[in-house]
Amino acid sequence: MSVERKNLIRNMKKKKILITGAAGYLGSIISTKLVELGHIVTAVDILKYDKNSLSHLFYFSNFKFLKQDITSERVVKKILRNQDIIIPLAALVGAPLCEKFKKKTVQTNVKSIEILLKYKKKNQKIIYPTTNSGYGVGKKNKFCDENSPLNPISLYGTTKVKAEKLIIKNGNSICFRLATVFGYSYRMRTDLLVNNFVERAIKTKKLQIFEPHFRRNYIHVKDIVEAFVFAINNFQKLKNNVYNLGLSSGNITKIQLAKKIKKYIKDLEIKIIKNREDPDKRDYYVSNKKIEKQGFKAKVSLDTGIKELIKIFRYCDIKFKNNY
C-alpha cells in the first residue's frame, strides 16, 4: 500500500456502518473493504448459503458479526442504534429464487426495508443497491437512463423497484441500480451470467445460447465496492438520487459475451439454440453517464474479469453454492 493511500485512510473520518446480508456475494467483499479502510462495521446475516465468507474478518477489532434475521422488528430496532450508515444488502436475489419463494421474497426484499425505514433516524444515511433489471425490455436503439420507465418483468425486479422507491421517498439516501455483476467474491455465485458462462466454458468446453441478441450491461464486483466507498466519501453530493452503476464498455449481447470468452478458451464450442426462450427476459443497454459525471467510473473490463474467472474455475477447489 502506498504512503499516500495509508495517509488517506488515516485521515478519513471513521464511520459506524451496518451491513445486512453481509455474508453474501456483494456483502462479503464490501465488508472486507470497509473494515480495511478502518470503518467500524457491523455485519448481519443468517448464514444460509456460506458460513465462511466473513471468516477472514473476525480478527479485526473494528468488525462485529451478528447472526440475526432482519425481517424481525425487534432485531432491526436494536441493530440500528448508533449507526451512521446503513447498507441493506439482505435480499432474495435473482428471478429463479424469487419465483420459488414468493412470500419470503416480499418479506425480505420489501417488508424488511419498511421495517428499517420505520426505525432509522433521520440523520442515518442509506446506500442501497437495487437492480437495473427494473428496466425490463429496453427500446432497440436507445440506452436506458435513470429517467427511463421502470417495467420489471420478474418478482425480483418488482420487489427491488418497490424498495428503491420507499428508500428514495424516505430521503438521506443513495440508490445504485446495479448492472449484472461478475467476478470473484468470498461468497461466490456461478448463476450470474458472466460467471456462469465462464464456468461452463471451462468445465464442458461448450456454451449453448438461446436468444443470443439479448442485451445486458455488466460490472465487476470490485467496481461496486469502489462505488460504495465513493458514495460514503461523497454522500452530500450524491444523496437523494438514483444512479445506474455499470461498466459503460460492458453493454453487449449474450453472443458477444460468448465470443469474448472464446478469445481465451480457443476450443470453446458456441451453439445457438433456436425456438427456445430465455427465462430471463431482460434486454437493454444502460447509460451510466449520470454517476460518471459525478466523478465515478467503473474500470474493470470484461476481459480482465473473464481472465480472472478462468483462473478461479481452472485452478481453485471451491465448492460453489448458488442461491436457488
Distance CA 130, CA 230 (A): 17
Residue 280, pLDDT score: 66
Which CB contacts under 8 angstroms, 24+ apart, belong to 96-104? 96/191, 96/279, 96/324, 97/156, 97/323, 97/324, 98/154, 98/155, 98/156, 98/159, 99/154, 99/155, 100/324, 102/155
CATH number at residue 152: 3.40.50.720
Residue 10, pLDDT score: 53
Q: Report yes or no on 210 lying in a domain.
A: yes
161-172 residue pLDDT tens = 999 999 999 999
- Extended strands (E) in the chain: 16-20, 40-44, 63-66, 85-88, 125-131, 143-144, 173-178, 180-182, 206-210, 215-220, 241-245, 251-253, 269-273, 285-286
Q: Distance from first CA to last CA of the chain, Å, rounded?
A: 39
Q: Which residues touch 277 (CB under 8 Å, ≥6 apart)?
A: 210, 211
Q: Report yes or no on 320 lying in a domain.
A: no
Q: Report yes or no on 16 lying in a domain.
A: yes
Residue 153, pLDDT score: 80
Q: Which domain holds residue 134?
A: 3-315
- pLDDT of 8 strictly over 60: no
Q: Report yes or no on 97 lying in a domain.
A: yes
| Mean pLDDT, residues 306-311 taken together | 98
Residue 319, pLDDT score: 74
201-231 residue pLDDT tens = 999 999 999 889 999 999 999 999 999 999 9
Residue 154, pLDDT score: 87
Q: Which residues touch 107 (CB under 8 Å, ≥6 apart)?
A: 71
- pLDDT of 143 strictly over 90: yes
Beta-ladder partners of 220: 182
Q: Report yes or no on 295 lying in a domain.
A: yes
Structure-model confidence comparison of residues 157 and 300, the more confident one: 300
Q: Report yes or no on 323 lying in a domain.
A: no
- pLDDT of 182 strictly over 70: yes
What's the whole-number average pLDDT of the chain? 92
Structure-model confidence comparison of residues 9 and 86, the more confident one: 86
Q: Report yes or no on 143 lying in a domain.
A: yes
Residue 275, pLDDT score: 81
Distance CA 154, CA 134 (A): 9
Number of domains the chain contains: 1
Q: Report yes or no on 129 lying in a domain.
A: yes
Confidence of residue 50 (pLDDT cuts 50, 70, 90): confident
252-300 residue pLDDT tens = 999 999 999 999 999 999 999 988 776 666 788 999 999 999 999 999 9
Distance CA 149, CA 135 (A): 7
pTM of the predicted protein model:
0.92
Q: Which three three-digit cell numbers place residue 113?
A: 426495508
56-114 residue pLDDT tens = 999 999 999 999 999 999 999 999 999 999 999 999 998 888 889 999 999 999 999 99
